[in-house]
Chains A and B, each alone.
Chain A
Amino acid sequence: QKEVEQNSGPLSVPEGAIASLNCTYSDRGSQSFFWYRQYSGKSPELIMSIYSNGDKEDGRFTAQLNKASQYVSLLIRDSQPSDSATYLCAVNVRGNQFYFGTGTSLTVIP
Protein backbone atom coordinates (compact mmCIF):
# COMPACT_ATOMS: atom_id res chain seq x y z
CA GLN A 1 0.00 0.00 0.00
CA LYS A 2 1.31 3.41 -0.93
CA GLU A 3 1.81 5.93 1.82
CA VAL A 4 -0.29 8.53 0.05
CA GLU A 5 -2.87 7.81 -2.62
CA GLN A 6 -4.65 10.12 -4.97
CA ASN A 7 -6.94 9.60 -7.91
CA SER A 8 -4.73 10.46 -10.86
CA GLY A 9 -7.65 11.80 -12.87
CA PRO A 10 -7.82 13.58 -15.15
CA LEU A 11 -10.54 15.59 -13.47
CA SER A 12 -12.39 18.04 -15.65
CA VAL A 13 -14.75 20.71 -14.34
CA PRO A 14 -16.42 23.65 -16.05
CA GLU A 15 -15.31 27.15 -15.20
CA GLY A 16 -17.06 28.42 -12.09
CA ALA A 17 -17.72 24.95 -10.68
CA ILE A 18 -16.27 23.38 -7.54
CA ALA A 19 -13.34 21.04 -8.05
CA SER A 20 -12.91 18.36 -5.39
CA LEU A 21 -9.57 16.60 -4.99
CA ASN A 22 -9.11 13.70 -2.61
CA CYS A 23 -6.21 12.05 -0.85
CA THR A 24 -5.86 9.16 1.58
CA TYR A 25 -2.84 8.24 3.66
CA SER A 26 -1.75 5.14 5.48
CA ASP A 27 0.23 6.31 8.51
CA ARG A 28 -2.11 7.16 11.39
CA GLY A 29 0.69 9.05 13.09
CA SER A 30 0.84 11.67 10.32
CA GLN A 31 0.47 15.17 11.68
CA SER A 32 0.85 17.62 8.82
CA PHE A 33 -0.82 17.66 5.45
CA PHE A 34 -0.13 19.82 2.43
CA TRP A 35 -1.50 20.49 -1.01
CA TYR A 36 0.84 21.55 -3.78
CA ARG A 37 -0.03 22.79 -7.24
CA GLN A 38 2.31 21.91 -10.10
CA TYR A 39 1.93 23.46 -13.52
CA SER A 40 3.36 21.51 -16.41
CA GLY A 41 7.13 21.92 -16.53
CA LYS A 42 7.22 23.84 -13.27
CA SER A 43 8.12 22.95 -9.71
CA PRO A 44 5.46 22.32 -7.05
CA GLU A 45 4.03 25.33 -5.26
CA LEU A 46 2.55 25.07 -1.76
CA ILE A 47 -1.05 26.27 -1.72
CA MET A 48 -2.52 24.88 1.50
CA SER A 49 -1.46 23.26 4.73
CA ILE A 50 -3.69 21.72 7.39
CA TYR A 51 -2.85 20.21 10.76
CA SER A 52 -6.09 19.60 12.64
CA ASN A 53 -9.40 17.96 11.85
CA GLY A 54 -11.97 20.07 10.08
CA ASP A 55 -11.87 22.68 7.38
CA LYS A 56 -9.35 25.39 6.61
CA GLU A 57 -10.27 28.05 4.12
CA ASP A 58 -7.98 30.36 2.16
CA GLY A 59 -9.67 32.35 -0.55
CA ARG A 60 -11.18 29.96 -3.07
CA PHE A 61 -9.39 26.98 -1.54
CA THR A 62 -10.66 24.84 1.33
CA ALA A 63 -8.67 21.97 2.78
CA GLN A 64 -10.53 19.33 4.77
CA LEU A 65 -8.92 16.84 7.12
CA ASN A 66 -10.42 13.78 8.75
CA LYS A 67 -7.75 11.92 10.69
CA ALA A 68 -10.11 9.14 11.76
CA SER A 69 -10.74 8.29 8.12
CA GLN A 70 -7.16 9.18 7.11
CA TYR A 71 -8.52 11.43 4.46
CA VAL A 72 -7.63 14.91 3.29
CA SER A 73 -9.29 16.83 0.49
CA LEU A 74 -8.98 20.10 -1.36
CA LEU A 75 -11.96 22.02 -2.68
CA ILE A 76 -11.50 24.76 -5.24
CA ARG A 77 -14.52 27.03 -5.54
CA ASP A 78 -15.30 29.11 -8.61
CA SER A 79 -12.71 27.14 -10.59
CA GLN A 80 -10.76 29.13 -13.17
CA PRO A 81 -8.85 27.93 -16.24
CA SER A 82 -5.70 29.09 -14.46
CA ASP A 83 -6.38 26.41 -11.84
CA SER A 84 -5.64 23.74 -14.45
CA ALA A 85 -2.62 21.90 -13.07
CA THR A 86 -1.61 18.77 -11.23
CA TYR A 87 -2.37 18.85 -7.51
CA LEU A 88 -0.09 16.91 -5.21
CA CYS A 89 -1.05 15.80 -1.74
CA ALA A 90 1.86 15.57 0.70
CA VAL A 91 1.88 14.06 4.16
CA ASN A 92 4.51 14.68 6.81
CA VAL A 93 4.99 11.29 8.38
CA ARG A 94 7.81 12.01 10.83
CA GLY A 95 10.44 14.65 11.25
CA ASN A 96 11.01 16.09 7.83
CA GLN A 97 10.00 12.96 5.94
CA PHE A 98 7.31 13.76 3.41
CA TYR A 99 5.43 11.39 1.20
CA PHE A 100 3.80 12.71 -1.92
CA GLY A 101 0.86 11.29 -3.79
CA THR A 102 1.11 10.79 -7.53
CA GLY A 103 -1.04 13.86 -8.13
CA THR A 104 -4.43 14.59 -9.65
CA SER A 105 -4.55 16.34 -12.98
CA LEU A 106 -7.25 19.03 -13.05
CA THR A 107 -8.55 20.72 -16.17
CA VAL A 108 -10.95 23.64 -15.88
CA ILE A 109 -12.91 24.04 -19.08
CA PRO A 110 -13.77 27.64 -20.07
Chain B
Amino acid sequence: SAVISQKPSRDICQRGTSLTIQCQVDSQVTMMFWYRQQPGQSLTLIATANQGSEATYESGFVIDKFPISRPNLTFSTLTVSNMSPEDSSIYLCSVGPTGRDPYGYTFGSGTRLTVV
Protein backbone atom coordinates (compact mmCIF):
# COMPACT_ATOMS: atom_id res chain seq x y z
CA SER B 1 0.00 0.00 0.00
CA ALA B 2 0.96 3.64 -0.31
CA VAL B 3 3.13 5.21 2.38
CA ILE B 4 1.78 8.48 3.74
CA SER B 5 3.76 10.98 5.78
CA GLN B 6 1.57 13.33 7.77
CA LYS B 7 2.71 16.22 9.91
CA PRO B 8 2.60 17.59 12.46
CA SER B 9 1.83 14.51 14.52
CA ARG B 10 0.35 16.65 17.25
CA ASP B 11 -0.08 20.28 18.21
CA ILE B 12 -1.61 22.42 20.90
CA CYS B 13 -3.04 25.64 19.52
CA GLN B 14 -4.69 28.75 20.85
CA ARG B 15 -8.29 29.39 19.93
CA GLY B 16 -8.73 31.73 17.02
CA THR B 17 -5.55 30.61 15.30
CA SER B 18 -5.13 28.30 12.31
CA LEU B 19 -3.16 25.11 11.77
CA THR B 20 -2.10 23.60 8.46
CA ILE B 21 -1.66 19.84 8.27
CA GLN B 22 0.46 18.36 5.52
CA CYS B 23 0.15 14.98 3.87
CA GLN B 24 2.82 13.56 1.53
CA VAL B 25 2.34 10.30 -0.38
CA ASP B 26 5.14 8.20 -1.83
CA SER B 27 3.27 7.62 -5.08
CA GLN B 28 0.92 9.53 -7.33
CA VAL B 29 -2.71 9.17 -6.33
CA THR B 30 -5.82 10.60 -7.89
CA MET B 31 -7.84 11.16 -4.76
CA MET B 32 -6.87 12.13 -1.26
CA PHE B 33 -9.30 12.30 1.62
CA TRP B 34 -9.34 14.18 4.89
CA TYR B 35 -11.06 12.68 7.92
CA ARG B 36 -11.72 13.80 11.45
CA GLN B 37 -11.90 11.46 14.40
CA GLN B 38 -13.24 13.11 17.52
CA PRO B 39 -12.53 11.53 20.91
CA GLY B 40 -14.35 8.22 21.25
CA GLN B 41 -15.94 8.61 17.84
CA SER B 42 -15.47 7.05 14.46
CA LEU B 43 -14.05 8.67 11.38
CA THR B 44 -15.98 11.39 9.59
CA LEU B 45 -15.06 12.41 6.08
CA ILE B 46 -14.36 16.14 5.83
CA ALA B 47 -13.60 16.44 2.13
CA THR B 48 -12.16 14.82 -0.96
CA ALA B 49 -9.18 16.55 -2.52
CA ASN B 50 -8.64 16.09 -6.24
CA GLN B 51 -5.61 17.45 -8.00
CA GLY B 52 -6.47 20.33 -10.31
CA SER B 53 -9.92 21.03 -8.95
CA GLU B 54 -11.56 22.34 -5.82
CA ALA B 55 -12.08 19.98 -2.95
CA THR B 56 -15.49 18.43 -2.44
CA TYR B 57 -16.79 18.97 1.09
CA GLU B 58 -19.18 16.78 3.01
CA SER B 59 -22.26 18.08 4.73
CA GLY B 60 -21.36 20.08 7.79
CA PHE B 61 -17.90 21.08 6.55
CA VAL B 62 -17.15 24.29 4.64
CA ILE B 63 -14.18 25.59 2.73
CA ASP B 64 -13.80 28.71 4.85
CA LYS B 65 -13.27 26.60 7.95
CA PHE B 66 -11.27 23.76 6.34
CA PRO B 67 -9.48 25.06 3.24
CA ILE B 68 -7.67 22.33 1.34
CA SER B 69 -4.89 22.50 -1.21
CA ARG B 70 -3.89 19.79 -3.67
CA PRO B 71 -1.04 21.20 -5.76
CA ASN B 72 0.08 17.86 -7.22
CA LEU B 73 -0.65 14.13 -7.18
CA THR B 74 1.47 13.39 -4.11
CA PHE B 75 0.68 16.21 -1.69
CA SER B 76 -2.23 17.87 0.08
CA THR B 77 -2.80 20.21 2.99
CA LEU B 78 -5.77 20.77 5.28
CA THR B 79 -6.03 23.98 7.27
CA VAL B 80 -8.19 24.19 10.35
CA SER B 81 -9.09 27.87 10.56
CA ASN B 82 -10.19 30.10 13.43
CA MET B 83 -9.96 27.17 15.80
CA SER B 84 -12.15 26.58 18.81
CA PRO B 85 -11.95 23.85 21.45
CA GLU B 86 -14.60 21.92 19.50
CA ASP B 87 -12.01 21.41 16.76
CA SER B 88 -9.88 19.32 19.10
CA SER B 89 -9.67 16.04 17.29
CA ILE B 90 -7.46 13.70 15.32
CA TYR B 91 -7.21 14.64 11.67
CA LEU B 92 -6.25 11.95 9.19
CA CYS B 93 -5.46 12.01 5.52
CA SER B 94 -6.15 8.98 3.41
CA VAL B 95 -5.50 7.89 -0.13
CA GLY B 96 -7.56 5.69 -2.34
CA PRO B 97 -6.54 2.63 -4.32
CA THR B 98 -3.17 2.70 -6.07
CA GLY B 99 -1.70 0.46 -8.72
CA ARG B 100 0.09 -1.49 -6.02
CA ASP B 101 -3.00 -1.94 -3.92
CA PRO B 102 -6.14 -1.65 -6.02
CA TYR B 103 -8.58 -2.10 -3.19
CA GLY B 104 -6.92 -0.53 -0.22
CA TYR B 105 -7.44 2.80 1.41
CA THR B 106 -4.47 3.84 3.49
CA PHE B 107 -4.34 6.36 6.29
CA GLY B 108 -1.63 8.71 7.40
CA SER B 109 -0.43 8.58 10.98
CA GLY B 110 -2.80 11.37 12.01
CA THR B 111 -2.50 14.78 13.62
CA ARG B 112 -3.72 15.07 17.18
CA LEU B 113 -4.94 18.63 17.62
CA THR B 114 -5.78 20.20 20.95
CA VAL B 115 -7.27 23.70 21.00
CA VAL B 116 -7.03 25.60 24.25
Known interface pairs A43-B92, A46-B1, A96-B33. Does A102 touch B107 (Cβ–Cβ under 8 Å)?
no
Stretch from B12-20, B41-49, B64-72, B75-83 at the A interface: B41-49
Known A45-B107, A98-B105: A88·B42 in contact at CB below 8 Å = yes
Instruction: Please tell me which one of the listed residues B31, B41, B103, B104 contacts residue A102 in the complex, with CB atoms under 8 A apart.
Output: B41
Tell me the complex Cα distance, A101–B107, Å: 16
User: Looking at A34, A43, A101, A102, which has the most chain B CB atoms within 10 Å of its CB?
Assistant: A43
Please count how many residues in chain B sit with their CB below 8 Å of the partner chain's CB atoms.
Answer: 20
B114 within 8 A of A: no
Q: Would you call B105 and A34 a contact (CB within 8 A)?
A: yes
Most chain-A CB neighbours within 10 Å: which of B44, B107, B108, B109?
Answer: B107
Whether the Cβ atoms of B96 and A46 lie closer than 8 Å is no
What is the CB-to-nearest-CB distance from B38 to chain A, in angstroms, rounded to a whole number? Answer: 11
Per-residue contact bits, chain B 85-116, to A (CB 8 Å; 1 contact, 0 not) = 00000001000100000011111111010000
**Shortest beta-carbon distance, B21 to chain A, in Å?**
13
Q: In the bound complex, what is the Cα–Cα distance between A46 and B43 (angstroms)?
A: 14
B42 touching A103 by the CB < 8 A rule? yes
Q: Which residues of A contact B (CB under 8 A)?
A: 32, 34, 41-46, 49, 88, 90, 96-98, 100-103
Q: Contacts A96-B33, A96-B48, A96-B96; is A46 near B41 (CB within 8 Å)?
A: no
In the complex, chain A residues whose CB is within 8 Å of the CB of B107: 43-45
**Which A residues touch B104, using CB under 8 A?**
46, 49
In the complex, chain A residues whose CB is within 8 Å of the CB of B110: 42-43
User: Interface digits, B1-42 against A, CB 8 Å rule (1 contact, 0 not)?
Assistant: 100000000000000000000000000000101000000011
Q: How far is A103 from B106 in the complex, measured between Cα atoms in Å?
A: 17
A42 / chain B contacts, CB cutoff of 8 Å: 109-110
A-side contacts of B45, CB under 8 Å: 97-98
| Inter-chain pairs besides A34-B105, A90-B105, A98-B105, 8 sampled, C-beta below 8 Å | A32-B103, A42-B110, A43-B110, A44-B43, A45-B107, A46-B104, A96-B48, A102-B41
